[in-house]
Structure 1
């Protein structure tokens, strides 16, 4: 019996080792340094200064929130793109949390400049043009350590960012990488079957390194498009990564205290650190 127990234990250990060995290939969130060597990432923290400004597009003045470490040093550039709810009291702290990682972050308020109400249903293509101007506005700053920017978005902002990168060709003129939380990877004006069963054709033309975060309980039609998009990019041998967090759903990175869960917080802290490493690698 003792020999049998030892054999079973050895088999279990073997399965455990095999499981750990294959986990890194199966899950983008797997961290061998932590699991095998006990190394925990130590985040970089900066006190953040916030200012306000605006830029002209030729038609409108677009308000912007600017967040950066509160010192005289230069830092890499990030363009933050809001989603359907706009740049409000729930989203602005995300901009600050990102700047605290060591970035100069410019976040245009696309809707206010165009007098668009929060949570629009239809997509207005003029917003893509306004966002493209934001790339130039950001890169004209003299406090940057990078000559390109990463575009960082969530929800419908992921579609705006996709269009700016591809349709406006900023992936070859100013942008270095694409990061997004549960992005809308289809034209919001497309018919319902396209929303569920297809992704935007621009995805096939995206050449930027891509990092996408999604919760396990994301809306089915949104999650399906995200998974298809990342799979299509990988099939084209593009640098694309999808991290899925168990136990969380939509809005996990900005949900307020009255509805926020511990799982939301864990996912948010992990995602922003992964995004930080990813963007700094591509902004060197």
Structure 2
């Protein structure tokens, strides 16, 4: 088991991207979250780009099924790194689209398929349709064929159950390394949703053991027990085999911190959401730009 890297919801904590398997430290100027520029001179987000976002609606086809998708990118017409974004059980609704826009504003071309609409599925399905994994994989092809992306690879960013679909694209469809450079998962579901309770609580998907790309998990320490436990076991297992895992855990933050809105949203949610976006931005750029 590797030590937990906790993000303490301090604005200064966004200054450094987490190193894999970093130490669990909470106080003092020698620790991972300390930022001299912030403490001494008040500098915040010195390297953070903010872009006006342009939205495009497209549709691509797989096996005769039309899959609608949202493409969000900076409006300046320049080329940017590519991200394939995967929604969870709620689908590509208004709140999900806001997350896609916030990610694109960091300087990415983000393709987010609406995996339910093409198959006439309602939001929040209980069972998982394995055809969605193939639909998502075809979306990766569409993204990599675009002429406005940097390089010839993409990174995956997923939310909740979208984590399982992203995992299958990387491993089962054999897209990792050659086509997919990294994967960041917000409170990811890392087990086949159709399996029973013991699998959801005590096991993680076998595909995790075959991951060869760097992975970042962003999660609150008050996440649902079974989701937190499974994700942590998956991260521990991958790290024990030498895989690169960045575990970002936010104290006092619960489930869906990037989606709570209105009166349901807390200050801790907002800090965690901002911090996570910075970390994902640097993580993706590290693997697609540097």
Asked if Structure 1 and Structure 2 have the same fold, meaning a TM-score greater than 0.5 normalized by the shorter chain, the answer is: yes
User: Are the structure 2 counterparts of residues 27 and 235 from structure 1 closer, same or farther at C-alpha, using a change threshold of 3 Å?
Assistant: farther
Query: Which of the pair is proportionally richer in helix?
Result: 1
Correspondence for 1:55 among 48, 56, 60: 60
**Which residue matches 2:199?**
194
- How far did 1:256 drift? 1.1
- How far did 1:58 drift? 2.1
Deviation per CA, 1:92-129: give whole Å up to 9, x if none: 00000000000000000000011111111111111110
- How far did 1:35 drift? 8.6
Correspondence for 1:26 among 4, 14, 24: 24
Matches of 1:220 and 1:121, distance apart in 2: 18
**Which residue matches 1:211?**
216
5+ residue gaps in structure 1? Answer: 1-22
**Which residue matches 1:163?**
168
Matches of 2:188 and 2:112, distance apart in 1: 17
- How far did 1:258 drift? 2.2
Correspondence for 1:41 among 41, 45, 56: 45
**Which residue matches 1:65?**
70
**Which residue matches 1:242?**
247
Asked if 1:272 is matched to 2:277, the reply is yes
Deviation per CA, 1:114-172: give whole Å up to 9, x if none: 11111111111111100110110001110011210000001000000001101111114
Deviation per CA, 1:159-189: give whole Å up to 9, x if none: 0000110111111441110101000011101
Matches of 2:178 and 2:125, distance apart in 1: 29
- Aligned pairs for 1:1-284 (under 5 A) are 25-26=23-24, 30-34=32-36, 38=40, 40-42=44-46, 43-284=48-289
User: Are the structure 2 counterparts of residues 35 and 196 from structure 1 closer, same or farther at C-alpha, using a change threshold of 3 Å?
Assistant: farther
Count of matched residue positions in the alignment of Structure 1 and Structure 2: 262
Deviates more, 1:234-243 or 1:30-39: 30-39
Point out 4+ residue stretches in structure 1 off by more than 6 angstroms: none
Asked if the contact 1:24–1:31 (Cα under 8 Å) also holds between the matched residues in 2, the reply is: no
User: Are the structure 2 counterparts of residues 36 and 94 from structure 1 closer, same or farther at C-alpha, using a change threshold of 3 Å?
Assistant: closer
Matches of 2:285 and 2:190, distance apart in 1: 24
- Give the CA RMSD over aligned residues: 1.8
User: Are the structure 2 counterparts of residues 233 and 70 from structure 1 closer, same or farther at C-alpha, using a change threshold of 3 Å?
Assistant: same
Deviation per CA, 1:57-113: give whole Å up to 9, x if none: 123010000100011210000011000000001110000000000000000000001
Matches of 2:109 and 2:90, distance apart in 1: 23
- How far did 1:30 drift? 3.6
Q: TM-score, normalised by structure 2?
A: 0.87
Deviation per CA, 1:248-270: give whole Å up to 9, x if none: 11110111122111100000000
Asked if the contact 1:24–1:32 (Cα under 8 Å) also holds between the matched residues in 2, the reply is: no
The higher-RCO structure (CA 8 Å, 6+ apart) is 2
Structure of higher CA gyration radius: 1
User: Are the structure 2 counterparts of residues 24 and 178 from structure 1 closer, same or farther at C-alpha, using a change threshold of 3 Å?
Assistant: closer
Deviation per CA, 1:183-217: give whole Å up to 9, x if none: 00111011110110011111000111000100111
